[in-house]
Amino acid sequence: MNSKVIGLSLFALAVSGCASKEERQIASGSYQYLEASQQKVLEVPAELDTPQFSRRYELPELGENADPSLVGERLKVVSPALILPLVAGSHVEEGSEDAKVLFDQIDDSEPLQKTVWDTVLKYLEKNQIGVESFEPDNRLLVTDWVVEMVETESAWYDFTDSFKPVRKKFKFTMNVAPHGRTASLKSNLIAYEDPEDNKTLSQVDVISKRNEESAFLNSVIAEYDFGLRLARTQRIAMIRQGFDSNMGFNEDGEPAIMVDAEYENTWPRLLLVLRKMGFDVKDLDQSTGLLFVQYTGAEQSWWGNLFGSSEGLQIEKEDYRLKVSDVGEKTAVTFMNDESAPFDTKLITEVFAPFKEYMGTENLDI
């Protein structure tokens, strides 16, 4: 007897646990409310006073854009998909019903609009999705057919998986703020074909359409975030590896040390190099390329022995200034005294040897 009860319980559990994806998205229970009709308003005889009726349970009127057919099994009770602003500086608009994300400019190396479009195109290419039309001037991109293999419904006792192809097309539109440092990217599902169920875009409900748009946009956002993190990792690795340096002249013809690296990569490496050489940075401004330092002497003079000295640099322990300037793919570092007069050939030669050594040392640490 007990074995029969256990067997029936396991069978019931198996059946109840095998609800289809569609069944899990709709309300369970009875739909008898669909057969309900509006009750007749209470008629009060003319000779009697009309009582005050409560409007507490009165249903609101449908909006003009509402779909009256979304009732019963056609009404999904799951929450709509959310846009995931994973990228630094990205956010969503509060209360927006669109599948849209906003990006803020965090990298001034190229226009924000180009960065976003390049990310979209890179994602499409990586996933072998064609582009039907691309109009950068109109800030519009339409994809070719996106084919997704969707699992089909089967009996609860069927343990084999079967899939069907579903084709979709998306449109991306971009809106750039007048100041050019904020751009929104919106995804729209513009075509849908499910040949097996003979389903087209007009038969896709509002929630499902929004979920499709959000999922596709989230994939692009994830690609954007991955690209930024990859670039940041590569940049850190490059900075840790070090750069070569040579004597030269800045754009004003003054003696300077030329670093074989771009300005953005040279700057963080330079701060560490100065510390190793015995300079304390008192103030700095990366936007203008100015550093105000004080030479206090190297904490350890092991490198001094390599260059024939055990006392560090042969310069006065005073305040100095450095001017860092962008020279194409190189960076010019000009050492100056406290009155902004550039070092002469003798002084710049004095600092060049340890500067070159530290700037080129891999995995330089404090």
Ordered by start, the domain boundaries in the chain are 74-238, 242-360
Dihedrals phi, psi of 305, to nearest 5 degrees: -65, -30
**Calpha distance 318→301 (Å, rounded):** 19
Query: Tokens representing 230?
Result: 């990859």
**Calpha distance 75→230 (Å, rounded):** 42
CATH 3.30.530.50 fits 74-238, yes or no: yes
Query: Tokens representing 176?
Result: 């750039």
In angstroms and rounded to an integer, the radius of gyration of the C-alpha atoms of the chain is 34
Say if 74-238 and 242-360 have the same CATH topology.
Answer: no
| Cβ atoms within 10 Å of 356's Cβ, excluding its own | 18
CATH number, span 242-360: 3.30.310.170
**Calpha distance 189→215 (Å, rounded):** 11
Dihedrals phi, psi of 77, to nearest 5 degrees: -105, 5
Three-class SS string for the chain? CHHHHHHHHHHHHHHHCCCCHHHHCECCCCCHHHHCCCCCCCCCCCCCCCCCCCCCCCCCCCCCCCCCCCCHHHCECCCCCCCCCCCCCEECCCCCCCCEEEEECCCCCCCHHHHHHHHHHHHHHHCCCCEEEEECCCCEEEECCEEEEEECCCCCCCCCCCEEEEEEEEEEEEEECCCCCEEEEEEEEEEEEECCCCEEHHHCCHHHHHHHHHHHHHHHHHHHHHHHHHHHHHHHHHHHHCCCEEEEECCCCCEEEEECCCHHHHHHHHHHHHHHHCEEEEEEECCCCEEEEEECCCCCCHHHHHCCCCCCCCCCCCEEEEEEEEECCEEEEEEEECCCCECCHHHHHHHHHHHHHHHHCCCCCC
Amino acid at 320: Y
Q: What is the pLDDT along the chain (366 residues), one digit of tens a residue?
A: 455 544 445 444 444 455 566 677 777 778 888 887 777 778 888 888 888 888 888 878 888 877 787 787 777 777 778 899 989 889 998 888 899 999 998 877 788 999 999 999 999 999 999 999 999 999 999 999 999 887 776 655 555 667 788 999 999 999 999 988 999 999 999 999 988 878 899 888 888 899 999 999 999 999 999 988 888 898 889 999 999 999 999 999 999 999 999 998 999 999 999 999 999 999 999 989 999 999 998 655 444 445 444 457 888 899 999 999 999 899 999 999 999 999 988 899 889 999 999 999 988 775
State the pLDDT at residue 161: 66
State the pLDDT at residue 173: 97
